Amino acid sequence: MAFLPLREVPLPGDTAASYDAWLEAMDADLSRPDCDRNELCRRVLTDIYYPHLAGVDPLTLPPTTRVALAQMDPRNVTLEPEYYRDIDIERYTPVKPLIWLWEMFDKSPLGENVHLGVLFRRLLAQRIFKRCGRNFKAFHFVKLSFGYNLEVGDNVVIHRHVLLDDRGGIRIGNGSSVADFANVYSHTHDIVDGREVDSPMTVLEDSVRITYHATILAGSRVAQDSMVGACSVLTKDTTPHTVFVGVPARPIKKKSSEARAARRPSTGDPLDEPE
């Protein structure tokens, strides 16, 4: 196999400067103690989707346009976790506008831009998650539940279309990655009465790899440096340095100590935070 660390991708100077200025302004707004996150979300999404309607009285608009414009304000929107009986409204209220901003950003023309999207989502994650370490990297269409029950270490990567169901809590260790279309759950329903819910914490320890389309069921602990293979369903804890595959996932291979000792040192990521 070829050794292929990530490469730098340059942007035109004016473009990079405009991105930096926008992100710095967003960071400054969110850092203000008196920041109204609902109003910030409404303003930013209106500027993205309906800039020509920013100063228009909604009552003068056609009914469908008025309803569409209302979606820019998270106060007019209900999200699935709000219907859960175990939601902590006091904790969810300040993160909801940021989750809605994240989701609607991803659906916009801006969302597919890797450079801008990673930096923007990182800025939001630092204010949504219970803990967010350095160099957090999320690609587009990551779906959160409560958001405030996520604990994320340093150098964590979450790829496209991942569900992080943090209803009971998810802890992700340093250097771990979750690949495209994977699902990580922290709640489960009784098979007889779905209203009976168990919400154990799910833990991905350091240097874990959850690969494409895998599912991690609630309460599982994925041990350090272990891997869950593509399309697998993990129903129990793994062991360190081991590859688990299948439905349900079972151990099939142990990473040798020689191979682990020969592993090249980290090469970093072009989108890492500056030291």
Q: Is the pLDDT of residue 1 over 90?
A: no
- pLDDT per position as a tens digit, 10-37: 999 899 999 999 999 999 999 999 999 9
Measure the CA–CA gap between 182 and 67, rounded to whole angstroms. Answer: 33
Query: What mean pLDDT do residues 114-125 have?
Result: 98
Q: What is the pLDDT of residues 208-221, one digit of tens each?
A: 999 999 999 999 99
Tokens of 107: 């659906």
Cα→Cα distances 105→81, 82, 100, 102, 232, Å: 19, 21, 8, 5, 30
Residue 275: the pLDDT is 81
- Closest by CA position to 176, among listed 222, 236, 230: 222
pLDDT of residue 37: 98
Which residue intervals of the chain are DSSP H helices? 13-31, 37-49, 63-70, 89-106, 114-128, 257-261
Q: What DSSP assignment string belongs to 191-234?
A: SS-TT-EE---EEE-TT-EE-TT-EE-TT-EE-TT-EE-TT-EE
- In tens, the pLDDT along 245-269 reads 999 999 999 999 999 999 999 898 9
Of 78, 26, 73, the closest CA to residue 45 belongs to 73
pLDDT digits (tens, 9 = 90+) for 79-110: 999 999 999 999 999 999 999 999 999 999 99
Q: Which has more confidence, 155 or 275?
A: 155
Full set of structural domains in the chain with CATH: 130-255 (2.160.10.10)
Handedness of CA 208, 273, 115, 131 (dihedral sign): positive
Q: How far apart are the first and last CA of the chain?
A: 31
